[in-house]
Chains A and B, each alone.
Chain A
């Protein structure tokens, strides 16, 4: 992990290249995170990749309900030569959940981006094939949002078994 000063240096470099791309930095528990502007996150990641963080370890989403903007997309990057990790966080709100796709930088972002779309509803602009991956293709709703109900079926016991799914002998 780059330490706190290293993180500030990286943020400084990125701000030099593109003014409003980095909105802030977070450093906690040894983990360095850059908060990026969603529209410009592709440039941030491209510059980080050129700087050495060439491996996309994880691309996932997080719902920050009730804080706005609600939907966060997190990128975990890894530098295999220096053994260094850095995270990039971009937050969009549910009104306009668009963010550029990074499939051109890392082809392995294909399935993770589809999963974030499926579970949170974030649309990745430039993704070759954005469809649902884990839920059935015609499912309505985005399950891992915090306001989506957890669902479930009533468990059948002897006392309520007469009431559920068809007759029992």
Chain B
């Protein structure tokens, strides 16, 4: 947000502004003078930017802890590094009420469809942070049982670490906030070039 400071001027300027304000209150100010008056005092922006600003400062994560990273995610809720001051006030239990899925921990092959289902249940615009090395890039355990999260869902920010310090996760969260403030496309399909991958339920043939 830019703050426009006006230089304090001469007393004659004050007098003319006082007369202008009186005219404004009477409804006598018109045309260019009115435009100028309003322009000096009101911050205008596009609605999209304002909405993006609001969205970025009130992202509510879903409670989704998988493994060790979940403990560090719990400690960012704690008092030392309080993410409530960034707007992450309430961790919602229901995915339908949350904006952000913080995948904290290793995703096994049994859990991957469950995670995907929860991500699908979230409403647009939704974001995902892959916290920790295991879900970002297989981490310590590169074996038969794990799936990297990029393979089945779109991730906006990857946070490395094993587990990432609370400060590291906060850095990732702030990067996500900057991304949201830049107003990227709302739907994940637009963001990740996946338009056209929607599931189409085949129409029932007539009489079936």
Closest Cβ of chain A: how far from B194's Cβ, in Å? 8
Closest Cβ of chain A: how far from B190's Cβ, in Å? 11
Structural contact, A165 and B150, CB atoms closer than 8 A: yes
Q: What is the bound-complex CA distance between A148 and B144, given in angstroms?
A: 10
From the candidates A152, A155, A165, name the one contacting B144 in the complex (CB within 8 A).
A152
Whether B80 is near chain A, meaning CB under 8 Å from some CB there, is no
From the candidates A135, A148, A155, A169, name the one contacting B138 in the complex (CB within 8 A).
A155
Structural contact, A136 and B145, CB atoms closer than 8 A: no
Total interface residues on A, CB under 8 Å, equals 15
Closest Cβ of chain B: how far from A146's Cβ, in Å? 14
Whether A112 is near chain B, meaning CB under 8 Å from some CB there, is no
A-chain residues with CB within 8 Å of residue B151 when the two chains form the complex: 153, 165
Whether A167 is near chain B, meaning CB under 8 Å from some CB there, is yes
Structural contact, B193 and A153, CB atoms closer than 8 A: no
- If the complex has contacts A165-B150, A167-B193, are A153 and B110 also in contact, measured as CB distance less than 8 A? no
Closest Cβ of chain A: how far from B195's Cβ, in Å? 12
Bin chain B's interface residue count. 10 to 19
Whether A143 is near chain B, meaning CB under 8 Å from some CB there, is yes
Whether B18 is near chain A, meaning CB under 8 Å from some CB there, is no
Whether B192 is near chain A, meaning CB under 8 Å from some CB there, is yes
Closest Cβ of chain A: how far from B138's Cβ, in Å? 6
Whether A28 is near chain B, meaning CB under 8 Å from some CB there, is no
Q: What is the bound-complex CA distance between A166 and B194, given in angstroms?
A: 9
Whether B109 is near chain A, meaning CB under 8 Å from some CB there, is yes
| Chain B residue with the shortest CB-CB distance to A151 | B144
Structural contact, A136 and B137, CB atoms closer than 8 A: no
- If the complex has contacts A143-B144, A150-B143, A153-B148, are A169 and B109 also in contact, measured as CB distance less than 8 A? no
| Chain A residue with the shortest CB-CB distance to B191 | A169
A-chain residues with CB within 8 Å of residue B146 when the two chains form the complex: 152-153
- If the complex has contacts A136-B109, A136-B110, are A152 and B142 also in contact, measured as CB distance less than 8 A? yes
| Chain B residue with the shortest CB-CB distance to A141 | B144
Whether B147 is near chain A, meaning CB under 8 Å from some CB there, is yes
Structural contact, A155 and B110, CB atoms closer than 8 A: no
Structural contact, B150 and A150, CB atoms closer than 8 A: no
Whether A19 is near chain B, meaning CB under 8 Å from some CB there, is no
Closest Cβ of chain B: how far from A127's Cβ, in Å? 21
Structural contact, A153 and B147, CB atoms closer than 8 A: yes
What are 17 A-to-B residue pairs whose CB atoms are below 8 Å?
A135-B109, A150-B143, A150-B144, A151-B143, A151-B144, A151-B145, A152-B138, A153-B138, A153-B142, A153-B148, A153-B151, A155-B138, A165-B150, A165-B151, A167-B193, A169-B192, A169-B193
